[in-house]
Structure 1
Amino acid sequence: MDNRAGEMQVFVRVVEAGSFSEAARLLRMTPSTVSKLVARIERRLCVRLLERSTRHLSLTAEGHVYYERSLALLAELDDIDRGVMQGAAATGGTVRVTTTVTFGVHALEPILPEFWRAYPNIVVDLSLSDEIVDLYFDRTDVAFRTGTLQDSRMTARRIGVSHRKIVGSPAYFERHGIPATVDDLARHNCLGFNFRRLAPVWPIKESGRIVDRNVRGSLLANNGETLHRMALAGVGLARLADYHVRDDIAAGRLAEVLSGESDEEPLHALFLGGMRMPQRVRAFLDFTVPRLQAFVAG
């Protein structure tokens, strides 16, 4: 492995200490190891950097150049480290966040004004999409996702469980009736998503396990907000998260059918970096996660 910066540090310490033995003591290395490292530098550069005698060391002309350039480079490396550390520790900068349209509109966006009152120097770069994005490729800091975790490179903080409900409006039920069994869904207009499969399915609980049921409908959309609006308009049935429809159910605008037959999925905040994440990302997660947990729990 190339460790020229480490070799430079040893060389600088030898020059400043005036001897291999004193440099070795300061570096907690053996004198022979220090001598071999300096000799390795000289072999690589094909020049002699130090004139050695029994009483003292002196720099050659090339040694003076290498010493001065090494000091400058090591100082620059220190500046880089300090700059990155200070940037990570500052509660400012941009946090790139992605989540589904529904979760973003109903859960995340309402708490952002309070977040900015606490952290006015943090910019939230928010993307709402029900498509799955690659955190590495899109350089995303935090993703709120529903479903089973699959990417072991990312760290997760659990938000809660998203319980799915099959809902329709009173107007729809008046025209088409209320499905009494899962099999009745075959004759209903089931609104679905278009980003998972060509043939839309609804995961349904049957005999204690989840089974994908083929459904048909007049609408396939790429986000839950569109399905929600069409369900309210009486177009058909929709399978939506409980936090998405609980106010509508309480107000009588929507009603749940086949209660207990739909599925549930875990909801997590995913992020990169683990314990070494920038402070701006940590501040965002520490602020939002507890509030989102309370929201999902209802």
Structure 2
Amino acid sequence: MSDTRAWEMRVFLRVVARGSFSAAGRELGMTPSSTAKLITRLEDRLGVRLVERSTRHLRLTAEGELYRDRAEGLLEELDALEVEVAGGARSPSGLIRINVSVPFGRHCLLPLLPAFREAYPDIRLDLGLTDEIVDLYSAQVDIAFRTGKMPDSALLSVRLGDVRRRIVASPDYLARRGTPRTAADLEHHECLGFNFRRAAAVWPLQAGGRLVNREVHGHIVANNGETVRHLAVLGLGLARLAEFHVRADLESGRLVSVLDDTLVDSEEIHALYIGRERAPRRIQAFLDFMTPRLRALLA
């Protein structure tokens, strides 16, 4: 009797990705009822419930999440093995979905892509540039670049370096409003901010020999760092942005850095990918290519 476990895994993952038996079945050439029966047989064989059903949506159980994570890894290993055996020394190929913030993508990652494409012409890239945090599993992202403390999860990470932030403004703005000398001076300035739910309107600053999170105020907020940078260049206020993001503006004089001895703001940046014992060749090739170049850029 043939072993159908790999097929069951593929059907299960398609159901999870599409969120319904009918949508998954259509893509696989199966009826909704046969798709549902296959998942039920899988659950009966395993002796656990993988999916909680309702009239509106499907929700994974804890066992279902574990099965999804391990099944994805096993199937990618199987696919990679067949490609490697069939292709011999052929260069890595396939699709990599990447999530990256707008500033880091535009100023750090995108300039490296021409050389990467030349080195790996058979790898296809799907780039998502957004300053919103996305879930790698639900968005089907292979690699994401994140700044800040890494959460405890099944994700693997590669540390790329430290991101220092600077407070910057245009010379025109400083000529009109004055240059802040202390943290308290920010009370009298327009401070450009972000409109994410996770973004707090506080800047970490030294005041009186101790670190304080000073609340700042302004009349304009935006949903990505590139827009905030442009607003600062236009003279609309002070902005707190990553050093790599404003490096060219500081060198050209479009922006001026202020409160350098007062701002205490540096965080690690990592490349995250879904935790598996062995990443697919295309993922490993991308990380091996980008890691030393991004480390040098951040340093």
Do they fold alike, i.e. is TM over 0.5?
yes
The answer to whether the 8 Å contact 1:194/1:200 transfers is no
The answer to whether the 8 Å contact 1:88/1:280 transfers is no
2:114 matches 1:118: no
Q: Which residue of 1 aligns with 2:221?
A: 220
Distance 1:259 1:122, change over 3 A: same
Distance 2:98 2:210 in 1: 33
The answer to whether the 8 Å contact 2:182/2:262 transfers is no
The answer to whether the 8 Å contact 2:77/2:280 transfers is no
Q: Which residue of 1 aligns with 2:49?
A: none
Q: Which residue of 2 aligns with 1:192?
A: 193
3-state SS, counterpart of residue 276 of structure 1 = coil
Distance 1:148 1:208, change over 3 A: farther
Deviations 1:38-88 (A, max 9, x none): xxxxxxxxxxxxxxxxxxxxxxxxxxxxxxxxxxxxxxxxxx986441347
Structural mapping, 1:174-189, within 5 Å: 174-189=175-190
Pick from 76, 86, 102 the counterpart of residue 82 of structure 2. 86
Q: Which residue of 2 aligns with 1:62?
A: none
Structural mapping, 1:21-32, within 5 Å: none
The answer to whether the 8 Å contact 1:169/1:254 transfers is yes
- The amino acid that maps onto 1:266 is E
Distance 1:207 1:293 in 2: 34
Distance 2:78 2:202 in 1: 53
Distance 1:252 1:180 in 2: 19
2:158 matches 1:162: no
Distance 1:195 1:254, change over 3 A: same
Q: Which residue of 2 aligns with 1:277?
A: 279
Distance 1:151 1:217, change over 3 A: same
3-state SS, counterpart of residue 192 of structure 2 = strand
Deviation at 1:196, TM superposition (A): 3.7
- The amino acid that maps onto 2:170 is S
Corresponding residue pairs, total:
221
Q: Which residue of 1 aligns with 2:144?
A: 143
- The amino acid that maps onto 2:294 is L
Distance 2:148 2:84 in 1: 30
- The amino acid that maps onto 1:154 is L
Deviation at 1:260, TM superposition (A): 2.8
Which of 200-209 and 153-162 deviates more?
200-209
Deviations 1:151-205 (A, max 9, x none): 3311111111100100001100110000010011011000001114586222334
Structural mapping, 1:1-298, within 5 Å: 83-87=79-83, 91-197=92-198, 200-206=201-207, 210-262=211-263, 263-297=265-299
Q: Which residue of 1 aligns with 2:45?
A: none
Deviations 1:224-264 (A, max 9, x none): 10011011111100000011112211221111111132211
Q: Name stretches of at least 5 consecutive residues in structure 1 with no aligned partner.
A: 6-79
Distance 1:168 1:137 in 2: 38
Distance 1:191 1:83, change over 3 A: closer
Distance 1:209 1:123, change over 3 A: farther
- The amino acid that maps onto 1:254 is L
Distance 2:84 2:208 in 1: 51
3-state SS, counterpart of residue 268 of structure 1 = strand
3-state SS, counterpart of residue 202 of structure 1 = strand
Q: Name stretches of at least 5 consecutive residues in structure 2 with no aligned partner.
A: 4-75, 86-90
Q: Which residue of 1 aligns with 2:67?
A: none
Deviation at 1:273, TM superposition (A): 3.1
User: What fraction of aligned residue pairs are identical, expressed as a percent?
Assistant: 49
3-state SS, counterpart of residue 113 of structure 2 = helix
Q: Which residue of 1 aligns with 2:40?
A: none
Distance 1:219 1:88 in 2: 52
Distance 1:198 1:167, change over 3 A: closer
Distance 2:125 2:269 in 1: 20
Deviation at 1:114, TM superposition (A): 0.6
3-state SS, counterpart of residue 190 of structure 1 = coil
